[in-house]
Structure 1
């Protein structure tokens, strides 16, 4: 059974370098990714995996992308972004008429593909809106919930605010003073060491015994690593 805690993307292409590139790139962005190198394998994968988005090459041996798109759209709820090496209007029209939701010409920008995937998710899966996926974390600001590795973390209100602040600023070094002002408020008059106490509690709940997820940079502050 496919995991439901993150967005799922199926990449279908007969070029191994594209499959490897998108598998790694989309995975690093927090998506659950599966790949297939031909149409028959893709259809079998899709029925079990139930992808939210399919990135689909047109020119493949055997069953081409047009036929894969037609069958996908008739069997599962998914958004299809078609890829082609040819900038032909007829190809785009044919794909759109078969149910494709978007179209990109090879070679393409990875950042543009990400933006198109996110647009399709917003438009076609609005019930999943308001959820952010950052590496192994899922943030739901509306529900004030954070999942890690698919499991809901049991957090106090302050623990939630602290972890949320660290995550949305992942990669940046945040000083204790910055954290106190953002999480506890400008009028907080307590000791800065309170930050250490809460970071320790978060590490325990994350199983971060080696401090690889929430890093301490002595004399500077803390930094969250997603990868």
Structure 2
């Protein structure tokens, strides 16, 4: 998910369209008054942030954001003085693009930052309030450790790598139990029920797709 904070409607719509066309999920905001709270509750992968915003300016938002989050931020602004650029970068921005800008250049920088972040954090998956560490084989929900069995962990890992996609019972059996497993698909349902129970409220992210299997993600 990419958040765009831009008060100019034309630019905001252009960014949303261009990013969506490239396959990114996008949520846009016309001012920065609610963005900090939004990121606290629903962290994004990348923030595109204008500096000159009504209500609260971009640098103030960035400084507040850096008190609790290290999500990558690209500043978009008409301010092209070296002082403004240094101020933005020293406040915690990862990149700085001045207006007017090339959409192709912006998309290239977005791709580069996300590639860098994902490469650094390839052993760590997050969705909403769920955090999964592949290397340590640990899962946290709202910051609290969750005790999962081996197969429950593997199922959650498969879900978090396929957010929004249907995973059939047969897929689960092949990928987790092994292609030569001779048991019934009912065992998948039993493990899903247990995983849902352990995830408590977050178990609602797992939805049943009738006659097919399951899907992970907010409905």
Q: Using CA pairs below 8 Å that are at least 6 residues apart, which structure has the higher relative contact order?
A: 1
- Which ranges in structure 2 are unaligned for 5 or more consecutive residues? 17-24, 26-30
In structure 2, the residue corresponding to 1:174 is in which secondary structure? strand
The equivalent residue for 2:125 is: 132
Match of 1:219 among 202, 208, 211: 211
1:87-113 Cα shifts (integer Å, max 9, x gaps): x7xx16444444624123478699778
TM-score, normalised relative to structure 2: 0.59
Hey, what's the Cα distance between the residues in 1 that align with 2:118 and 2:217? 26
Alpha-carbon distance, 1:82 to partner: 1.9
The equivalent residue for 1:173 is: 166
1:114-135 Cα shifts (integer Å, max 9, x gaps): 6465367569xx5x66322223
Hey, what's the Cα distance between the residues in 1 that align with 2:107 and 2:190? 38
The equivalent residue for 2:151 is: 158
Hey, what's the Cα distance between the residues in 2 that align with 1:220 and 1:206? 22
Alpha-carbon distance, 1:59 to partner: 3.2
Alpha-carbon distance, 1:195 to partner: 0.6
Pairing of 1:1-227 with structure 2 (within 5 A) = 36=32, 56-59=49-52, 68=59, 81-84=74-77, 86=78, 91=80, 93-98=82-87, 100=89, 101-104=94-97, 105=99, 115=111, 118=114, 121=117, 130-207=123-200, 212-226=204-218
The answer (yes or no) to whether the contact 1:92–1:103 under 8 Å persists in 2 is no
Hey, what's the Cα distance between the residues in 1 that align with 2:130 and 2:217? 11
TM-score, normalised relative to structure 1: 0.58
Hey, what's the Cα distance between the residues in 2 that align with 1:36 and 1:213? 28
Alpha-carbon distance, 1:203 to partner: 1.1
- Which ranges in structure 1 are unaligned for 5 or more consecutive residues? 1-8, 23-28, 30-34
Hey, what's the Cα distance between the residues in 2 that align with 1:164 and 1:183? 10
The alpha-carbon distance between structure 1 residues 215 and 14, as it changes in their structure 2 partners (threshold 3 A), is closer
Aligned residues: 190
The alpha-carbon distance between structure 1 residues 138 and 63, as it changes in their structure 2 partners (threshold 3 A), is closer
For the pair shown, the structure with the greater C-alpha radius of gyration is 1
